[in-house]
Structure 1
Amino acid sequence: MDREIKSNAITVANVPNTDRISRLNELFFVEFKCSPSFFVKVPGRVNIIGEHIDYCGYPVLPMAIEQDILIAARVINESKIYLRNVDTKYTKYDINITNNSEDIEIKPDTNGKPFWYNYVLCGIKGALEYLNKDNINGVQFLFHGNIPPASGLSSSSALVSASCLAFIYAQNEIPNKTEIASLCAKSERYVGTQGGGMDQAIAFLAEKYNAQYITFKPLNAAPVALPEDAVFVVAHSLAEMNKAATNDYNRRVIECRLAAKIIAILEGISCDNNIITLSEVQIKLAKSLEEMVNLVKKHIPNEIYTKQDICKILNVNQEKMENLYLTANTKSLQEFKLKQRALHVYEEAKRVEDFRNACGQSENGFANTLNGNISQNGKNTNNTLNVLGKLMSESHESLKTLYECSHENLDRIVDISKELGVHCRLTGAGWGGCTVALCPKDKVQEYTDTIIEKFYVNYCRIDKTKAKQYVFVTIPSHGAMIYKY
């Protein structure tokens, strides 16, 4: 059976003796003429299944990956924050600090795209709200990330989360995992992304060798053991998408909100002017996910709804509708696809449940294989992989056709995977980023070689040696850690 999290305390360990830590130490000394006093590491993630449903209140099933954001940090007797990045393409940034979170302004560039340090400031702003204390220490931060940016692997959320944790720790405090995960989910919205909390939850609640079944309200995670023969291969589509730089992501969020509100009203649910999620509607109606799919088809039959259509159903004027349900970057929208978005959410939520059930008891999976325990029956494992793979393929098709958040490069990788009999889907918000494939162990080499040849070399015209950096095998990694001397 799935277990509750072993501990809700963030792991604090001695600084490991690694080449990466040593290099970061050296660069920190070059920049600040002193050594860091502690390090914070927060991983990226791959969402195995359950895309675009966390902000609708439904459970998701991600795992942390080995790629991460690593911060070298030092507390200083100065009311200032110094932000530096190992990658020199990211500009230096300094800011005076007070104990008032409202003093931190987060402004994008002239094109509306966030600067890298905006995500850091989100984390610090949230940390100040959490701390609520008079005396605030200044800090020097040096960042090194090896999560590909804008790849759908949660690099931005990891940056927010690592910054928030490091700043709080610099004030001699440390929150528990669920506390800071919720705080960081809220904090990232300062950059304009209306996320649901999955990225931050897995960043802090992950356990090595297991995926996590994450639920919300209240936030909790239960380890899910993956089949012993399952290998997850991540491939970058080379199409980048920044969630905070366009309204594509927020548009889907508000379309789901509007769909939920319409179903609630037409089913006689009293919810006043409150935002209601698709999961809350299901709970209030005490219906199954299959029954909710039928209600979507009944109450939201049209392919397109205009603002006027929605105002009429909700019995509100346009100004009220915009103020209640839309975000700053979606108020200009005139048409909405409500049926398609709601269908995806309810059907994807069902796929998450089916995936979790198919994984079976956590005692029989990937973690025990690595620990040298007895393996499962080969035939049963193959059957399970096939069931899980089909759910992942169905997820991608839904994201492509109903949620319309795929990209031609993502679809091409998925199609190449199908030719090899490997199930694959986009992971993350979409519109670019990465795919994740569920690949049997005995096919991994053939699969990665074929993706490199057919997608990167033949289609993208990239040198084979360079292409190898865009495909990697990953196993479930651990969550956030603090390293101290």
Structure 2
Amino acid sequence: MIAEQDIPVYHTLADVFGSAAAALPHAKRWNDLAEQFEIRFGRKPTYIARAPGRVNLIGEHIDYALFGVLPAAIERDILIACGARSTPTISHSQGVPDAPGSVVAENLLPKYTRQIFAPALRDPQPVSDQDAHVESWHLDINVKELRWESYVKAGYYGVLNYHFSGVEESPSPVDLLVTGSVPAGSGLSSSAAMVVASTLAFLAVNGKLADSVGHSTLNKGGLVELSMKNEKRVGVNSGGMDQAASVMSDPSSALYITFFPSLSASVVPVPAHAVFVCANSLVVSDKVLTAKRGYNLRVVETLVGAYILAKSVGIQIGDKDKITYREVVGRFAGETPGEDMGSDALEKAITELEPKLDVLKPENSENGQLGVTMDEMIRMTGLTQEVFHEVYLSWVDIEATYFQLYRRAKHVLTEARRVLQFRRTCLEAAESGASDGKDVALIRKLGSLMNDSQSSCSDLFECSCPELDELTRIAREAGAYGSRLTGAGWGGCTVSLVAEDKVSDFIQKVKASYLPYKNLEGSALNEVIFATKPGSGACVYKLDA
């Protein structure tokens, strides 16, 4: 299984990219990063940690409901050059001593200023039998203003608290230099890539990727889980798709990532003549601004809806259990606990459960309002206000007048079914060795599923925006088989399925029709709209001493 594979540590760029020829276009960027590190810190870096962004082909906002998704890593990435610091540095003159684990972090983009910080060792805390983990270290992260170094700190947090007791062993002081080619706020998961790369950098510098005899101490699945926990430090409740895609991707395929009953991933070959084109709407999806009424609100609506649905179909559930839609489907279908019923049975069970979603509508929906008020929602759960607040509101900040339980549930179940259909179509194409004619028919089917996904994201989950709706419409008119938003939404990118021999023509047609692109040429245009192939997952590159 991919989750059980070791995190790769490479010694040449040819290994990173699969061949010397494939590495050649990237060599200058990596060399420039290493040279800049030496200029700024007076020595060569020891490692460069790499984590790619990702494009989600289909399966939006269903990972935290524990349904499978279908992303692929893109070639654009975050790189962090790093090295342990053994002697005092400029940090002294700026008020931060070379305390255990102190960090000097710089970014090649000049708009991001140098940051210096150090973790604080907490006082010893009593541990009860019920405590799974008590944190020894603390770092200040401002969750109300997501600065670039917040993601570096987030990656560091888990390394500190899961790999250092603070008593017998302390982390090394570290210097970091960051660069990235994944556009921030684009829906291509720059934040997860930054957290994964940061986590890898601190693990590598502190010798935590392998034990004293060279055996791996953390596999890919472990890195995904650690990175998921780390990213929650910045205030966004991630379902794990972004981190899994960044860590586990294979350069030849998309990934089918499932989260139930445990994290797993399998390769899904994409039809040979299909190309995916990412297009940035140039609307920045600011997680700080959208979380209350966007991402975090959807998480709560999804969890509450699953609880109500579970009770309505006779599933036994405790008052404080946070059941997910995937678990509801499994129990509804009589799935053996701890096992996966399989794709065909899962699709059948989803189809059978969909008609039962009406229980999530308000008692009186004659005025067309399908949402429910807070009081109605609590009453529908049968919980007391105190228990409801503890389970669903105490850990997250949300804001809404009406909670759209039915719409969110309808999207989640139909989107989960579309993912299964998309995967099956890709596997059938690979197994049949489809000829060009049949290949086109299969690609059209994939495109139709993507279009249906966009409609659902826009109308039911309401995570699109006018610019994304316009850009997907333009893409279809320009010849795309299918086009949909990718990522959390509310801005960011679209992904379009385009015939391999039509990519250049497609990009020019989109440029001519989407107003923000009209004055862009050359590299500026390539920054906002580009074709991508599935890329490789995260790794560490060890430089020669």
**Same fold by TM-score, threshold 0.5 exceeded?**
yes
2:372 aligns with: 305
Conserved? CA contact 1:113–1:245, under 8 Å: no
1:129 aligns with: 161
User: Partner letter of residue 121 of structure 1?
Assistant: K
2:299 aligns with: 253
Match runs of 1:319-338 below 5 Å: 319-326=386-393, 330-338=397-405
In structure 2, relative to structure 1, the CA distance for the partners of 1:295 and 1:322 (3 Å cut) is same
Q: Distance in 1 between matches of 2:305 and 2:110?
A: 44
The 3-state SS of whatever aligns with 1:403 is coil
* Structure 2 residue corresponding to 1:283, chosen from 297, 307, 330: 330
Q: Distance in 2 between matches of 1:213 and 1:359?
A: 11
Match runs of 1:203-242 below 5 Å: 203-217=246-260, 218-242=262-286
Match runs of 1:331-410 below 5 Å: 331-360=398-427, 376-410=434-468
What do residues 359-406 of structure 1 show as CA deviations (whole Å, max 9, x unaligned)? 1258559xxxxxxxxx74111101110110000000000000001111
Q: Distance in 2 between matches of 1:327 and 1:150?
A: 27
The 3-state SS of whatever aligns with 2:378 is helix
Q: Distance in 2 between matches of 1:45 and 1:438?
A: 15
User: Partner letter of residue 151 of structure 1?
Assistant: S
Match runs of 1:4-153 below 5 Å: 4-5=1-2, 8-16=5-13, 18-77=27-86, 78=98, 79=100, 80-97=102-119, 102-108=137-143, 112-133=144-165, 134-153=169-188
Conserved? CA contact 1:453–1:464, under 8 Å: no
User: Partner letter of residue 310 of structure 1?
Assistant: M
Alignment coverage as a number of residue pairs: 468
Larger Rg: 2
Q: How far off is 1:349 after superposition?
A: 0.2
The 3-state SS of whatever aligns with 1:125 is helix
Q: How far off is 1:19 after superposition?
A: 0.6
Gaps of 5+ in 2: 14-23, 87-97, 123-135, 210-217, 334-347
Q: Distance in 2 between matches of 1:10 and 1:190?
A: 23
TM-score by length of 1: 0.92
Gaps of 5+ in 1: 366-374
Runs of 4+ residues deviating >6 angstroms: none
Conserved? CA contact 1:122–1:160, under 8 Å: yes
2:219 aligns with: 176
1:164 aligns with: 199
User: Partner letter of residue 58 of structure 2?
Assistant: I
* Structure 2 residue corresponding to 1:271, chosen from 317, 322, 343: 317
User: Partner letter of residue 383 of structure 2?
Assistant: V
User: Partner letter of residue 479 of structure 1?
Assistant: G
Q: How far off is 1:320 after superposition?
A: 2.9
* Structure 2 residue corresponding to 1:441, chosen from 500, 525, 539: 500
Q: Distance in 2 between matches of 1:461 and 1:442?
A: 23
Deviates more, 1:354-363 or 1:58-67: 354-363
Q: Distance in 1 between matches of 2:277 and 2:527?
A: 12
Deviates more, 1:384-393 or 1:6-15: 6-15
1:372 aligns with: none
What do residues 18-66 of structure 1 show as CA deviations (whole Å, max 9, x unaligned)? 1112111121122111110111100000000000000000000000000
TM-score by length of 2: 0.82
1:462 aligns with: 519
Cα RMSD for the two superposed structures: 1.9
What do residues 199-232 of structure 1 show as CA deviations (whole Å, max 9, x unaligned)? 0011111011110000114111100000011001
What do residues 50-99 of structure 1 show as CA deviations (whole Å, max 9, x unaligned)? 00000000000000000000010001234211111010111211112356
What do residues 239-280 of structure 1 show as CA deviations (whole Å, max 9, x unaligned)? 011224432110111000010011112222222111111111
Q: Distance in 2 between matches of 1:321 and 1:298?
A: 19
The 3-state SS of whatever aligns with 2:442 is helix
The 3-state SS of whatever aligns with 1:124 is helix
User: Partner letter of residue 75 of structure 2?
Assistant: E
Q: Distance in 2 between matches of 1:362 and 1:167?
A: 42
Conserved? CA contact 2:82–2:201, under 8 Å: yes
* Structure 2 residue corresponding to 1:316, chosen from 383, 403, 426: 383
Conserved? CA contact 1:63–1:206, under 8 Å: yes
